[in-house]
Structure formats: C-alpha cells, structure tokens
Amino acid sequence: MSLVEQIKSKAKKNLKTVVLPESYDERMLFAAQQIVEQGLAKIVILGNPDMVSAAASAKGINLAGVEIIEPATAPRLAAYIDEFVELRKSKGLTREEAQKLLTAKDNLYFAGMMVRTGDADGEVAGATGTTGDVLRAAFQTVGTAPGIKTVSSFFLMVTKTPSFGENGILLFLLAALIACAIFVPNFVSAYNLRNLTLQATDLLIISCGLTYVVLNGGIDFSVTSVMALGSVTGAYLMALSPLKDQPALSIPLAIVAMIAIGGLVGALNGLAVAVLKMPSFIATLGTQLGISGVAILFARTVSPRSSINGLPDAFLWLGGSGDSFLVPVAVAVAILALSHWLLTRTVFGRRIFSIGTNPRASFISGMPVRRTVFLLCLLSGLYAGVASVIATSRNEAGIPSLGDKMFISVIASIVIGGTSIAGGSGGFKQTLVGVLLITLINNAMNLLGIEWYITMIFQGALILVAAFLDQMLRAARA
C-alpha cells in the first residue's frame, strides 16, 4: 500500500471535519466532491449557498453531502465574535472589528474560529489567498499550543519518476528554491545569485572528489585540510616568494603546486588504506589533523598575518573576479562531466560500484581492488587541490583555515544527494543536486541572519535523517 493510500485508510477510520473557506475556487469544490465521495472527511464550505451551488453546477461538480455555511448569517457568528474579542482583547479589538474580519470575503477568520472552537478539526486554504493572509488569520484565531512559540510545517512528496532524484531530492530542491525566492529577502537579486553560483563551484569540485571514496564505502576527512595547505602554499609562491614579481611564472607554478599537494596527500591516504589496510576513517583523520597543523605553521612562518594577501590580479580571474564569472563555473562543470563519464562509461566506474558493494567478491573475481581504492583516494586529493585553487582565488588570499567548516557541507551534499554512505550506490548527478541544495540552505540562512553554528546543526540533522533513510532503504531491499 502506497503512502497516500495509507493516509486515506486512516482518514476513513477516523473521520474528521475540514473547513474550506475559499468556496469559489474550482479546485476546492472539486476536492470537496472527491473527499466526500471517498469518505475521507466531513467537508464544510464557507460562502453563499446559492452562489457556491451555482458555481459547482457550472463545472459539473456534485456537492451532495457537503455542508455550506454563509458566515454572515451563521447561527454561531455571535459566539465566534465573543470568543474572538476575548481572545484579542489585549490588542484592543472591538466587536465591530471582529465582525468585519469574521464576515470578510476570504472567510479565513471565520474558518479559523471554527477550528478554535472545535466546530472543525482542520482548515485547508491558500488556493487563492496568499500564505501571509492564511497564516495571519490562523495565528490570530487558532493560535499555538501552550508553551509553543515557533510554528513549523512539513510537506510530503511522492514521485514515481526516479529521474527526479533519489527519493525525490530534485523535487525537494525545486521546492526549497521557490520557498527561498518567496520568503528570503534579496535572494533573487543578481548579486546574490552570482554569489550563490560561485559558492557552489568549489563545494561541487571537492564533493565530486569525495564521492569517489564514499561510493567505495570509505571516507576522506583530509580534503578540506588539503585546501588549506594548498591555499597557503600557492599564495606564498605568488605573493612572497622570489617569483612574486613574475606572475607569468609564479601563477602556473602555484596552481601546479596546489594540485600536486592534493595528489600527494591523496596518494598517502591511498597507501594507508589500500596497502597498509588501515580504515579510511583513521588514516584520513590522521592526515587531516597533521596537514591542518602544517598549514597553520607554514602560514605563521612566512607571514606576520593570519593569511597571505597580495595575490596577482591574473590569478583572481580563476575565482570569478570581475568579468570572469563563468570561469570557475566552467571548471566545476567540466570536472562534474568528467567524473560522471568515468563512473558510468568506463570499466573503472563499474569497478567502483562493484568494490563498494562487495569488496571481497570483487577481489575473488579478479578485480584490482587495491589499485582501484588507491586511485579513488588519489582522485579525491587531486579534486581537493583543484578546489583549493578556485577557493583561494575567490577569497583573494591564502588562508590556513580555508575549508575548516566546509567538511560538513561536503558530506551533507553527498549523503543528502542520495549516495549511500555504505558504498555501492549513488553518483555524481546526485552529488550535484545535493551541492545545490546545501548551497541554497547556507545562502538562505546567511541572508536571514542565522548564525553559522545553527546552520551546522541543521546540516547535521539532515545528514542523520539521510543516513537513517539510507539504512531503511537498504534493509527494505535486503
């Protein structure tokens, strides 16, 4: 039985009364007919009975079994007015004002009082009225439960189309995007959309690298430390080394050095995991701590400041400075395309899935398990090096703490996107959707003035939920 059918079954067993205030909307009238015919609830429509019946007849809608109440002549109007005045007496609401609200054309306040007094169990509105109008009337009539100050909400999405993302994650992204456009100030401004895109580039690159390792059932904590060490190393070569006055030489050398650092760390991780058989958790945690310390020590040694500034203008071009906005976007898209091709169109990609699903069986079948695991760690490090180049350019400085709060966003992007933390399932399309969703959440919370640690708590909760759902789905398939 599907989720919707389960909800319908429970509704039939526990019949409730639902009031629909927007009586002249065709969708509401059709919904009322369907609900009553299926025996899902008792329906009350607010409006002039003659006009509502005429509107329904014109559309061929049968409202038999539906109660229609006109607020202006309702027997309970006086009682609602008394209750509403008492409820809002601290605001100085008069009986005349209460009557005007309760008999308003949108019927929202009357519906709210029906729910408050128990004449209805719930209300459905918002088809024609704005969300603000619906919530304002609900707050002033129904109110919140004792001890509750913050109102929250949820919605259910059911899709049979896998192309919309693992468990409908793409639909969730679209819903979040629409919500941000409506409720978050300045979200749709050209300046913010530019920043939103740039913020997603280095997160996408580093997340693609880590996706390789997660698909194999592993983890790489060192990716953000690679960004930090690469950042200060590259910045030193361009701003403080003897080559600082030769940007034509220092910039390419710095970029190669930053990527090479990623490759070196990735190779060390690969040796530890594939050859020495160390758990990836321990191996990469060790390199993460060590490399973070080296980055801070190096920066303090070569610069009196906490960061290395004065990077050449030509290097800043890589981070999207000025008219080069599309450069980091193009780099991120190219890496995403390459990663997707490797995973879905090559023998190497098939090995990743096989080893992630069952490494023992893959080894017995003759697959080069050790070499594949080593290459995955190497790719993760190289991608982190590329992300270091883009992030350093965008920040216009070498920062020894670059990416220190980024790892939770990286792992959240991968897991929430739909790649299994146990390995063997997922992909880069899922990671892309996860990156867009996490970037959207971070950006929206920043615009709303929410502290960074609250954002981290929220992302942590999303990771836990995604991991729990992943385990449930695996158990269901078993």
For the chain, 478 residues long, give each residue's pLDDT as a single digit of tens. 677 888 899 999 999 999 999 988 899 999 999 999 999 999 999 999 999 999 999 999 999 999 999 999 999 999 999 999 999 999 999 999 999 999 999 999 999 999 999 999 999 998 888 888 898 999 999 988 888 877 776 666 565 554 444 555 677 788 888 888 888 888 889 889 998 999 899 999 999 999 999 999 899 999 999 999 999 999 999 999 999 999 999 999 999 999 999 999 999 999 999 999 999 999 999 999 999 999 999 999 998 888 999 999 999 989 887 777 889 999 999 999 999 999 999 999 989 988 988 888 888 878 899 999 999 999 999 999 999 999 999 999 999 999 888 898 999 899 888 888 888 888 999 999 999 999 998 899 889 888 888 888 888 888 888 777 767 766 665 5
Identity (one letter) of the amino acid at 442?
N
Using alpha carbons only, what angle is made at residue 70 by residues 64 and 71, rounded to the nearest 5 degrees?
A: 140
Say what the pLDDT of residue 282 is: 95
- Give the contacts of 412 (CB within 8 A, at least 6 positions apart): 434, 438, 459, 462, 463, 466
Put residue 152 in one of left, alpha, beta given phi > 0 → left and psi -120 to 50 → alpha. Answer: beta
The CATH label, of 1.10.260.40, 3.30.1330.10, 3.40.50.10950, 3.40.50.720, for the domain at 17-141 is 3.40.50.10950
Q: What are phi and psi of 405, to 5 degrees?
A: -105, 15
DSSP letter for 398, please: B
**E strands of 30-121, at which residues?**
42-46, 67-69
DSSP letter for 222, please: T
- Whether residue 98 contacts residue 84, with contact meaning beta carbons closer than 8 Å, is answered with yes
Identity (one letter) of the amino acid at 268?
L
Say what the pLDDT of residue 468 is: 79
Say what the pLDDT of residue 477 is: 57
Cα distance between the two ends of the chain: 19
User: Which residue is listed with tokens 């390789």?
Assistant: 212
| Beta-bridge mates of residue 43 | 18
> Distance (Å, rounded) from C-alpha 163 to C-alpha 433?
12
- Whether residue 400 contacts residue 393, with contact meaning beta carbons closer than 8 Å, is answered with no
DSSP H helices, 303-346, are 313-316, 326-345
> Distance (Å, rounded) from C-alpha 77 to C-alpha 58?
30
**E strands of 11-73, at which residues?**
17-20, 42-46, 67-69
Residue ranges covered by each domain of the chain: 17-141, 181-477
Say what the pLDDT of residue 465 is: 80
> Distance (Å, rounded) from C-alpha 395 to C-alpha 234?
13
- Whether residue 416 contacts residue 438, with contact meaning beta carbons closer than 8 Å, is answered with yes
> Order of strands across the sheet with 122-123?
67-69, 42-46, 17-20, 122-123
CATH class of this structure's domain 181-477: mainly alpha
- Give the contacts of 223 (CB within 8 A, at least 6 positions apart): 206, 209, 210, 380, 381, 383, 384, 387, 403, 407, 410
Using alpha carbons only, what angle is made at residue 185 by residues 179 and 190, rounded to the nearest 5 degrees?
A: 95
